[in-house]
Amino acid sequence: MIRRLIYFSFLVVILFVASTACTTQTPPQPEASQSPKREESFEPTIEKEPEWITEDNDSLQIEETPTSTPSVSDDRVNYDEYFTNSVFVGDSVMEGFAQYVRAQRNSGVDMLSNAQFLTSLMGITVYDVVNYTTGAKCYFTYRGKEQPLETILREMGVSRVFIMLGMNDIANGFSTVDTTNNYRKMIDLIKNTNPDLDIVVLTPTPKTASKWLPDYTTNRNFGSPLLNELADMLKAMCEENGIKVVDVNAAVRGPDGHLPDEYSRDNFVHINNECSAVILDFLREFAKIQMEG
């Protein structure tokens, strides 16, 4: 009797343990294909400030936007109305000025009304503009399409154009006489297509006193003396033909006849923000004279 009781008790214990084991289940593990996906991390794409291109297609860093606008007085801001519906045309030197103006506008400074800029950074010459269909190597591009300058100006519908070209002609071996003659032809082409367009010539800026010349400069005598001579010849040509001219060359030229080092960003021909501010001030003086008669 005692054996049966012990056996029965042992059986009850075994059944209790088995029942407990069945109710405690291990949570199912996810299959390999169902494993949770890890969040991918994406670093924000930082757009770089566009690089400024020199004549030989090398890159040159754009200067930081100045915190203030040197050589610009508040009483001249109203004269910016003169530049409404205008376009500034030129080479990489003009592009340096354009970068300055855009940076100032982006910082909230009103500048030159709604004037636009049309520049070519690949060493464009007056010869290229005049010989667009027969042998030009460089072009102006408008809305993604290469076109003659006179056609672009017509499509833009501007009322006034400021042109600064000629430096690359001298660098590529053209004489000051040939460049001046080509300038006159360019103006005629523009007038024939745009008879009501007001044309203003800006004389090319000088070079620094540095003797260094890049390899792409064909004329190894390229420098301020030739650029200053071209400026004088362009002034004379404009005066003889009733064309407006702004002597930017004289405005930025130092006492030694060269572009001061403090006005250059590369110790060559390309202008910096300080020089651009001087040019801006000079343009406003010109606008004042034109508006006040």
pLDDT at residue 10 in the model? 52
Given a cut of 80, is residue 14 above it in pLDDT? no
Select from 68, 50, 102, 116 the least CA-distant residue to 274. 68
Percent of the chain clearing pLDDT 90 (strictly above): 70
Please answer whether residues 117 and 87 qualify as being in contact, where contact means their C-beta atoms are separated by less than 8 angstroms: yes
Residue 18 lies inside a defined structural domain of this protein: no
Residue 131 lies inside a defined structural domain of this protein: yes
pLDDT at residue 149 in the model? 98
Digit-coded pLDDT (tens) for 135-170: 778 889 999 999 999 999 999 999 999 999 999 999
Residue 23 lies inside a defined structural domain of this protein: no
Q: How far is CA 101 from CA 109, 233, 266, 280, in A?
A: 9, 28, 19, 9
Average pLDDT, the chain: 82
Give the confidence band of 74 by pLDDT, cuts at 50, 70, 90.
low
Query: What CATH number does the domain containing 132 carry?
Result: 3.40.50.1110
What mean pLDDT is predicted for residues 202-222?
Answer: 97
Between residues 93 and 2, the one the model is more confident about: 93
Q: Are strands 116-119 and 52-53 parallel, antiparallel or unpaired?
A: unpaired
Digit-coded pLDDT (tens) for 84-135: 999 999 999 999 999 999 999 999 999 999 999 999 988 999 999 999 987 7
C-alpha to C-alpha distance for 257 and 249, rounded to whole angstroms: 10
Select from 165, 115, 158 the least CA-distant residue to 140. 165
Spacing of C-alpha 256 from chain mean position: 30
User: Which residue carries 């050589």 as its tokens?
Assistant: 71
Residue 133 lies inside a defined structural domain of this protein: yes
User: Which residue carries 């406003």 as its tokens?
Assistant: 284
What mean pLDDT is predicted for residues 68-97?
Answer: 81
Between residues 254 and 25, the one the model is more confident about: 254
Q: What is the pTM (predicted TM-score) of this model?
A: 0.76
Digit-coded pLDDT (tens) for 168-190: 999 999 999 999 999 999 999 99
Residue 285 lies inside a defined structural domain of this protein: yes
Residue 223 lies inside a defined structural domain of this protein: yes
Give the confidence band of 77 by pLDDT, cuts at 50, 70, 90.
low
Residue 214 lies inside a defined structural domain of this protein: yes
Provide the domain limits for residue 181: 83-292
Q: Which two tokens stand for residue 247?
A: 């002597």
Domains contained in the chain, number: 1
Query: What is the DSSP track for 176-211?
Result: HHHHHHHHHHHHHHHHHH-TT-EEEEEPPP---S--
pLDDT at residue 2 in the model? 47
Between residues 74 and 238, the one the model is more confident about: 238
Please answer whether residues 139 and 120 qualify as being in contact, where contact means their C-beta atoms are separated by less than 8 angstroms: yes
Residue 238 lies inside a defined structural domain of this protein: yes
